[in-house]
A and B are shown apart, each in its own frame.
Chain A
């Protein structure tokens, strides 16, 4: 698997888009730090961007790569290599190269501006961990869609829809249910609804670590009580792992039945 991962990774690292993505974060990091001049404020702004962007880029790149690497895949399929190895290798190659762009692109400017000496190091770390998880999750989901649909346009459409659903529509439904069931105690519901969407979960995890959590008021206190504890943190990371694991499992399952 490592060899496949290596080749996919090199293939991507050499492609123009990885550089664009990397330089985007690099410029973003420097620009934010230059404008805000404080690491902590930059972290808040970055959160908004990461929460929206990493899933979207993960989705688009994931679908694009799996479609464009079809020849490579067919070439590999005729070689004495296990199927799951091929697909998991490709998946990890793309997820890792995107994560690397994110971590290096943001890491370099923040390192230069002294994030290691700053108390924000943990928040910044959490930001990168969430961003990486979101990348892994959405690349995996996109891979599944690309595997299930031969038609590129269709696959692309479904992938974008899934992203749109998770990033926007889900929160809309969440909001509507909160407003409609106003009369009932909603703490548990909010907590569960947040946990079920990795984008919301990452957003809340980061929000709670920042000063801005005070705005969350009473509801925030309930969340803080849960996420603030070790159990809460481990539960969240566990859920993010499940979110990563399930689509990966399906990559394995779908790819083992697919004809080429």
Chain B
């Protein structure tokens, strides 16, 4: 599905990714973890083509993505901070993205799921953070694509929506899709993720299942396991 080889990315003097090589086979939920500034978002944005790496290759379905755009027809992306053009209404935004993609979408269902119907004719600039995030989720899940990339999907969500989101992700997983998630909510990872990629200072520190990580750090709790990794590293 995704094959990353020796990826380097530097912003000015700051080396963010230092030779990341990673293979993600199709199907399942993959959590990309790591402390702040470890390069999670940069890695995701590299896959999306929004960040252009200095060196290294990224293959999706065995095709290099450099200077390509068509491959994005087959992936959905949920950006970390939900920011939209403020002059548009929710309805117009969803309509615009549908228009741009030209694919069939199940937006109605999702709008109902997240209870967005009363907000459809409101301008995006007037929405609360949580509601914006729900719109963000609708946009990310409304197309039927084999690859779904979610950057901090839980931000600002109320518990009901969080449950809905988990349901959605599980449904997509059952449909055999590949889902990449970054998050800081370890409980979310513990219950959802099939595999973990742990980034530290621009390198992959650990790749494997949750169980393997717990075993490696001799901790039963994922949060503690990660804390152990980080303290060991610092010592």
Whether chain B is bound by chain A comes out as yes
- Tell me whether A222 is interfacial, beta carbon within 8 Å: no
A-B contact pairs, 10 of them (CB 8 A): A72-B84, A75-B84, A75-B97, A78-B79, A79-B72, A79-B97, A79-B100, A258-B52, A259-B50, A260-B50
Write out, one digit per residue, whether chain A residues 240-260 have a CB within 8 A of any chain B CB (1) or not (0).
000000000000000011111
> Which of A3, A69, A71 is in CB contact (< 8 Å) with B100?
A3
- Tell me whether B88 is interfacial, beta carbon within 8 Å: yes
> Which of A14, A69, A257 is in CB contact (< 8 Å) with B52?
A257
Q: Which chain B residue lies CB-closest to A13?
A: B87
Interface residues on A, range: 20 to 34
> Which of B45, B67, B70, B100 is in CB contact (< 8 Å) with A259?
B45
- Tell me whether B168 is interfacial, beta carbon within 8 Å: no
Write out, one digit per residue, whether chain B residues 37-67 have a CB within 8 A of any chain A CB (1) or not (0).
0000000010011111000000000000001
Interface pair A75/B87, CB less than 8 Å apart = no
> Which of A11, A70, A76 is in CB contact (< 8 Å) with B87?
A11
Write out, one digit per residue, whether chain A residues 3-18 have a CB within 8 A of any chain B CB (1) or not (0).
1000100010011000
**B101 contacts across to A, CB distance below 8 A:** 79-80
A interface list, Cβ under 8 A from B: 3, 7, 11, 14-15, 69-72, 74-83, 256-260
B134 to chain A, nearest CB (A): 16
Interface residues on B, range: 20 to 34
A259 to chain B, nearest CB (A): 4
B interface list, Cβ under 8 A from A: 11, 45, 48-52, 67, 69-73, 77, 79, 83-85, 87-88, 96-97, 99-101
Q: Which chain A residue lies CB-closest to B46?
A: A259
Given the known interface contacts A7-B96, A71-B83, A72-B85, the answer about A82 and B48 at a Cβ–Cβ threshold of 8 Å is no
Given the known interface contacts A82-B69, A259-B11, the answer about A77 and B85 at a Cβ–Cβ threshold of 8 Å is no
Q: Is the interface of A mostly helix, strand, loop or mixed?
A: helix
Q: Which chain A residue lies CB-closest to B70?
A: A80
Interface pair B84/A71, CB less than 8 Å apart = yes
> Which of A71, A80, A260 is in CB contact (< 8 Å) with B72?
A80
Q: Which chain B residue lies CB-closest to A69?
A: B85
Interface pair B51/A260, CB less than 8 Å apart = yes
B51 to chain A, nearest CB (A): 4
Given the known interface contacts A3-B99, A15-B87, A71-B84, the answer about A80 and B73 at a Cβ–Cβ threshold of 8 Å is yes
CA of A79 to CA of B72 in the docked complex: distance in angstroms? 6
Interface pair A83/B51, CB less than 8 Å apart = no
CA of A204 to CA of B215 in the docked complex: distance in angstroms? 79
